[in-house]
Amino acid sequence: MKPPAKLILAGAAFMAALTTGLFAAAEVGKAAPDFALTDINGKQVSLSDFKGKTVVLEWVNPECPIVVKHYDKSGNIPKLQKDATSDGIVWLAINSGHKGAQGDLDNDRLAEWMKKNSFAANAYMRDRDGKVGKMYDARTTPHMYVIDAKGTLVYAGGIDSIQGGNPADIAKATNYVREALKDVEDGKPVRTATSKPYGCSVKYGN
């Protein structure tokens, strides 16, 4: 005996809703999906830990030439991290590269890199299975996201307006993340809510 059509449709709708809930993708203007990762010190960090605070997510690969541009060659991102965290903003760095990928440094090498570059984020986390990266559609390193105190994703895109590897461009570029953080602080809509990210591709395992 075949089940009634209404029952089949209801079951399909339930499964669709369940799937959507489990794999909800990040979208500017909507609530940022929660996640939990373990940082390099072994502490579990969840986005929901920082409810009521502005949060920056930075996808990072220490060996990517564009990341090198913004760290080793200019100190651009570490300075922005320091400015943000001193204002009470939470900055989370995420590496979604698979084990053994470019930039998947062991803790000793990573500690050296952090010290050399005055790394000032609140946490550095590995996402080797890529689940969080894919949830946020992180495509490049760096790929930047700003989440306001209400938990709404208000910016997603590049660090600034000039693509390429020349550190001299940084001073001429519009820093979209700094701009977004200022707009959030002032209670204004973020003037540039999305932009095209640039850098190395995130080294997902599959």
**Helix (H) or strand (E) run with residue 10 in it:** helix 5-22
- Per-domain boundaries in the chain: 25-201
pTM of the model: 0.89
Confidence (pLDDT) at 11: 40
Q: List 39's β-bridge partners, or say none.
A: 125
Q: What's the CATH code, domain 25-201? A: 3.40.30.10
Non-local (6+) Cβ contacts of 66 within 8 A are: 140, 141, 142, 165, 198, 199, 200
Higher pLDDT, 48 or 5: 48
Q: Positive or negative, the Cα torsion across 170, 171, 172, 173?
A: positive
Q: Is the pLDDT of residue 111 over 50?
A: yes
